[in-house]
Each structure stands twice: as structure tokens, then as C-alpha cells.
Structure 1
């Protein structure tokens, strides 16, 4: 096998298009592509050309001769996929469909609300059309959303995807309007007066609650808040994180739960070479935490974390103990995740290391503490099938207390209503059909489809939404009269909104990298909104960068 995919993919699928022999699957159009946690290189069909390596934005594809010891399990993972999912009917070359063109060449201006991956993929799709200009709005002075504030700092390779978005920013017709909160600083009605269409890509901003007594005690936090805290998100820089107890409990067993458990048990010296926020690095260096318990309501076979995350966890052999509280019967089966957990369960414990405990069949029933968290009451669960045959966790009367100084919930996200858009309370999404809310207003990303998929999943999602927008343009539903953004800029200025453009963001980016270089780190993030605005305005006044096209 010449090349191997070695981690969770961004699902951008650039490698699929680059491959001359169509040996990377599942590809767009294949069953399961949208839900796939990673792609796979067929060992029988790969011709060792290296095109996929060049195309991969996050460096996830490696020649088999350069695999590190902890990456060797991916050899079998890739091969096993093709044993179960043969792709015999191959097209000799990857086919790229002809680029669509608008019927009317008149200029079009589109506002994209949200500068995270979903919004920037929408901008990329729109800018394939020379008639289109895009203004990207975000309430923060910095772009990239969860790529900047959600990816764990010890996963720096995943953050290479920002190179994709930097290329989008460099396209003619792209502009940032950062630091602008749509719905507060400017209304949807005002945006539609100055743009032919508006696309919302605002994500799913709320965590699901545990719905147990004591959940609101100080020390009971969402994992998303903690992720924002250690990643330098301005909203969470002052989060009350106390690491003065030996145990932390994380409720939920998806990838985010593993991320926070891994960071809380990591060696701070290793984190010091990442872009982790300074305040978090200092707190983790002084941490007294020795054990992080990760609770899952159901069994190992129903856990939400992905195989690449487990393989990465297994690579931390000399960094953290990983205890798997499950019977051998629970870890038996064909699921490769169970094999990875069984291998972890067999490892000896090093008392000198911090410990991560993966506990299954347990659920919280009460967060304990008179004034702040002191522990958690946990009930054992049993699995029972529902009317559709799906195994559900049911509480039993076997209850125990876990002492802990902090409880983190990581049980999923839910969308909150977006001002001026129709909300579906059952799905937590904006009501839409193929991304169309109504002609002229569209939605993409988690706000459209719910909190599912990976970074690159937004590419396929964006393509569908932009297709709906282009259909409406060609049908004459949006009007093609000229749109001038300057009155809107004057309006924002009159309201005292400190808008950050592309020049301002590039100035912030350069300053963060300069500060990081002096400390041997990729960047040191600026986490204060006022300081971000000062850095952006200072270097913009100096005229060091172009502010983006005004086409």
C-alpha cells in the first residue's frame, strides 16, 4: 500500500479529485460519503503518484514507508475498508463536472453571515462565478470559527485547513466585514437592501443540557466552553476553570469529550509548543488534576468517538494511562473501534502518569455541591431496545458518588433560533429546502443540517445551498439591479461598529504569529476583543495590506 490516510479527514475531498485512478473512497456520490469519518486509499489500485498528498490540506496522507509506529494501525484500517466495500467499477481518471455559468452576466453581490468553515466554503462556491462578489460578516474580529476555536491545540495538522480559507480570501470579489453582529449591528432587511442574496452559516451555538439537579452549579460547564477557553475564544477567556481537584468528569463520549480529556491530562510541556491560549497553558501547568473520567450512557459499541481519535489516543502510551471500564464481552465484535478499545484495556498502568478512564454504561443523575461542584451521582444503566429495535440506555437503581472538582457536559449541540429566520424546534435548524429559506435568503452548515459532519462536510453542503441560490438568480427571482455596499458601510460607521476587513485580519494574523515565533510556537492568540480591534486598526491605517476587492 503506497499511501495511507492516517487520521480523521477534513472531508474536503480534494484528494479524490486529484487521484488519477479513482482509488480514494468513499468519494462524493458514494454511499456513506457524507457520514464518513475518514477516507481510505485502496492498496490494490494506488499507483504511488503522490497526487493525493499534494492535494490534502491537512497532511493526513502519508507514504506507507514513512508511517510512525502509532500510525501503523491505519494500514489495516485502509485495507479492511476495501475488503468490506469493494469498488471494482473504476473510472480511469477523476471526472470534474463542467463549471456552471449564470444566464445573466450582470454583477451579483452576496452577503455571507458567518466566517467559519461553512461560510467560507459558501464564499468559495460563489466566487467560482466571475459575476459574484461576496461580503463575509462575523460578529468576532477573527474568522475561521471552529477551525480556530474548536480544534484541539495538539491537532495542529488539522488547523492546516486554514490554508484553504486563505486561498478563498485572496480571490477577487472577496471581502471581510468582521466584528459585525447581524441582527444587532445590522438587520437582515438592511443587508438585503445592499445585497442580492444573504446566506446564513452561523452554526449550532448551544450545548445540550444534562437535565439533572445541580447542573447550574459553578464548576459545571459545557465542554464547548472549555474548548473555547483553551483555544482563546474571546467569549470564554474569563471562564471559571478551577483545576484544584484530582478528578474531572466529562459526560459524553464523542470526539469533543476525548479532546477535553486529552488536554486536561496532557503534559503541559508538550502543549507549550502549540497555539493553546496563554491563560489556559498557565492554568494547566499548575493543575492538580490526576484523573479524568469520561462517562458514556451506553456501551462501547454505541460510543460516538471515531476510530482515528481512538488510534490517536493509543499513541499516547507514555503520556497518559487509558483505563477502559468494560467487560471482554462488551469489547468483542467486528467494529475496529472495539478492537482499539480492547488493546487499550490490556495495557498496564503507570502510576506516574495521569489517567483517563473510559467508563461505559453510566449516566449522571445529580451534580453535587453546596456552592460549587464537589462531585457527581452516577447511575449504572442497562441497554433495552426501543420500538424500532435501537438500544437505549435505561437507568438502574445502582448509584454511586464520584468526587470531582469539575463536571463537563459533552452530549451534543442544538441550534438556537436565528433572528428573522424560521426555526424548527424539533431539529434545532432553520427551516429550509436545499438551503433555501426563501428566494434571497439561504442557510448552510449546522444551521441548515444540524450538528453533523466534519470540517470538509461543509463543502458539499455549501455546493447545494449555492446551487439553490443560482437557480433563483437564473429564474429571475432575486432581481439584478446594482447593489452598492458603501451606504451600508457608512451606516455601520455611524453606529460605531469597528469593522475589521481583510487587511485588519491579516494584521492580527501576522501579529499573533510574530508573538508565537518569539516563544517557539505557531502563534500566540490575542483573546481580548478590544486588543484585536486595535491591532487590526493600527496596521490598516499604516496601509500595509490591501483591504479586499470592492468589485
Structure 2
């Protein structure tokens, strides 16, 4: 019997569990750990609440989780409740699928001012992550500045611009919805160091900006390169730039009150304010061999909210080597140390889509299988359960999670699939109330 521990219950974790089942069948036992009592990682707390179709992939993970060979072990903080070294003693392989939950720091003066957030914080706020649900950002100013030219920045812009009615069918938490409904924002500025041909935005997310009830996207025509240069782009990128061209040509055709401005060739230099952010100082850039270089032309954008969406970093775990430069677990093609592996964003950094994690998970199982020839017997979950009893740990099973989920569905407002618990203790009480 092979015993495998997977740390992290997001896409990378469950794709790895699925791959292990397909490889070993009934000859494997898999424990999937998560520090929260709820599974699915970024599917629950990172995917935009108005993108419910994307979240349907969780049904695939549930099918894996309901297999008798797989067990969800929630409410366990690996590194605190149990160490990686202890798990290595109990399991033949330990796979770190912990993602990249921390914001890449914004290293400009003023980034520590109130009113400045990383996108992981801000997205976690409106998605109800227990760590960030109490954020309460001040939305009383007229202008918000979003730093970054990827889909996360687009998601945040769209969430800030929507009406309450446009959130029908979403699972945005009620407290965030109430705050957004009372927002005074009428200008949302997206800063990008480079130009339209260098964006990391996909056509679907860009297209959504053109269909908002009270907001209109604005692109300065002069920022767009000659149209014939679009032919050299990949098809998806070409579609995205075509949408930007549509936005540029329609910029004066709308009286919608909220403007979403694309400021290309704009690098933030510093954030200005005493206690709270009051403005962003921006330097105009130009491209030099594909790199953005400053021109010396500096302007200021008054604002009361700044969200940095410039990337993520993996989390440090005690006893696990970390690559500071790349912001991920130090590894060679997924191998960290004998019996210790990593997968997904923890392995390669925050790149790719949800589906990218599937071949990643199947690939790491092949490596584990190659390393597990003629291994000695180990205790696996039986040994871990002994630790649980000795340390009086309160684990949450997948059946318990289904109880939490049922309580969330029962509490849902009209038109919403659920009202998420945003407090871990409330999740545990929901489990106990149904036992």
C-alpha cells in the first residue's frame, strides 16, 4: 500500500490525487490536507464570484474526494499542527500543493499607506476568505488605481464597477456587496508599464468590461500600435487587442457614470499621502527592446484606493527550502527532497490556468511512482490519526465540509448559490450543529 499526503486542496492538490488513483487504484491511500475547514483553494477564494461557471470544476474534485481511497483532512495547519518532517515519517510521499497565496510586494515608496492592498487581500475580501473578509476597504473616494495588466486587475475593476443587480447569481459575500453598493467610485484606472501588445488579459475578461450596466472602458487611441502589427500576435492576444481597439473607438459614445481607464506606458513611482494614500505618482514609459523604460515625464493621479495586482508568491513552510528570487518552493522539476515533492504554483510559480494543474499533477505522480520502487511499509493515515488523538486536533472531514456547504446554501440570499462562512469558528459550529 502506498500512502501519500497532499498539502493543499486546490486544483493542483486534487488533480494530483486523481492521478495517484489512476496510477495505483486500490493500492494507494491519499490524505489531502488544508489549513481551512473548506476545500478547493482558489476555486473558492480566488476565482471571481461572478464567474460561477469556472467554479463548476469543483464537481470533478468532489468526485475524487468521495473516493474511499481519498480523505480530506481540513483544519490542519501543516508546519504548526504537524510538521512536514512528521508527515514524511508517516507517508511514502508528501506533495506540497500550497499554491501562491501571498502578494508579490509592491516595492515603491508609500506602499505601506492605508488604502493600499495587494490583489490577494482584495480578492480574498470580496470572496469571503477568513483571513481577509474583515478588510473593509474605504470606497468613499472617487478614484481607484489598479496596478497591473492581467486578468486579476480586470476582475477587480469589474467587481468595483458592477451594480448590485449585476451580482445576481454570484457568491460574493453579503458584507462586501453592501460595501460595494455604497461605493462612491466613478473612475477606475488600470496602470500598465508596457503597451497593449504586452497585456496578459484574455478576451473573455476584457469583453465583460464592454457589457457592464453603468461602466464603460476607455482606451487612448494614441496608445495603440499600428493595426497591421497585430498580425504578429498569437490568436488570443490578437482578439484582446481588437477589443481594446473597439473600446478606443467607442470612448465618446457612452454616458455611463463609471469610467474604467486603461493607462498604458504608465509606471507607478510612488504612492503619496500622510496616513492614507491620496495619489499615485506615475512616470510615462516607452518600449526599448520589449522593456519599459522611463521617459522622465511624471504625472499624479489623485485616488483613495490602490490595489496592486502584480503577481503572487508561494508560502514558506518550516523545514522546506524556498527560492526567494522566484517566490516559490525550491525544487528541481517538482522534487524538493527525498520523499518530498511540490506541484502547481508551489512548483512553477503563479502561471497558467486552472487546467494547467492537471498535467502538472499527473507528471508529479509519474515521478513519485519512479521513486517508490521497493519501499518499506509506512503507517500513513493510521499514524496521522494517532497524532490527532495525542494532540487533540479537531480535523474536518469531507462529510463535515458538505455540512458546512449545506449551511451556506441554506443561508444564501435570493439569487445566490451560497452565503459563505467567513469565520473558521462559525464553520466548525456549523459542523457540530448537524452532527
TM-score category of the 2 structures, normalised to the smaller one: over 0.9
Please give the secondary structure, in 2, of the residue aligned with 1:127: helix
Match of 2:325 among 409, 416, 426: 426
Partner of 2:44: 148
Instruction: Spell out, residue by residue over 1:144-164, the C-alpha distance to the aligned partner (whole angstroms, 9 max, x if none).
Output: 011100111111111111111
Alignment of 1:450-529 (within 5 A): 450-474=349-373, 476=374, 479-516=375-412, 519-529=414-424
Please give the alpha-carbon distance, in whole angstroms, between the structure 2 residues aligned to 1:241 and 1:192.
41
Say which structure, 1 or 2, has more relative contact order (CA 8 Å, 6+ apart): 2
1:362 aligns with 2:266: yes
Q: Is the 8 A contact 1:298 1:383 kept in 2?
A: yes
Q: Is the 8 A contact 1:503 1:536 kept in 2?
A: no
In structure 2, the CA distance between the partners of 1:329 and 1:430, relative to structure 1 (3 Å rule), is: closer
Match of 2:246 among 343, 368, 385: 343
Partner of 1:22: none
1:533 aligns with 2:428: yes
Partner of 1:414: 313
1:202 aligns with 2:98: yes
Please give the secondary structure, in 1, of the residue aligned with 2:320: coil
Match of 1:373 among 252, 264, 277: 277
Please give the alpha-carbon distance, in whole angstroms, between the structure 2 residues aligned to 1:504 and 1:114.
17
Query: 5+ residue gaps in structure 2?
Result: 232-237
Instruction: Spell out, residue by residue over 1:116-146, the C-alpha distance to the aligned partner (whole angstroms, 9 max, x if none).
Output: 1111111111112220111010111111011
Partner of 1:257: 153
Q: Is the 8 A contact 2:85 2:319 kept in 1?
A: no
Q: Is the 8 A contact 1:324 1:358 kept in 2?
A: yes
Partner of 1:45: none
Partner of 1:282: 178
Q: Is the 8 A contact 2:4 2:380 kept in 1?
A: no
Partner of 2:72: 176
Higher radius of gyration, 1 or 2: 1
Q: Is the 8 A contact 1:196 1:483 kept in 2?
A: no
1:225 aligns with 2:111: no
Please give the alpha-carbon distance, in whole angstroms, between the structure 2 residues aligned to 1:263 and 1:182.
33
Q: Is the 8 A contact 1:439 1:469 kept in 2?
A: no
Alignment of 1:41-440 (within 5 A): 107-128=1-22, 129=24, 130-316=26-212, 318-327=213-222, 329-330=224-225, 332=227, 333-334=230-231, 335-347=238-250, 348-385=252-289, 391-440=290-339
Q: Is the 8 A contact 1:136 1:177 kept in 2?
A: yes
Q: Which has the higher helix share?
A: 2
Please give the secondary structure, in 1, of the residue aligned with 2:354: coil
**Bigger Cα displacement from structure 2, 239-248 vs 407-416:** 407-416
Following superposition, the deviation at residue 108 of structure 1 comes to 1.3
Query: What is the total number of aligned residue pairs between the two structures?
Result: 424
Query: 5+ residue gaps in structure 1?
Result: 1-106, 386-390, 543-551
Normalising to structure 2: TM-score of the pair? 0.94
Please give the secondary structure, in 1, of the residue aligned with 2:306: strand
Normalising to structure 1: TM-score of the pair? 0.74
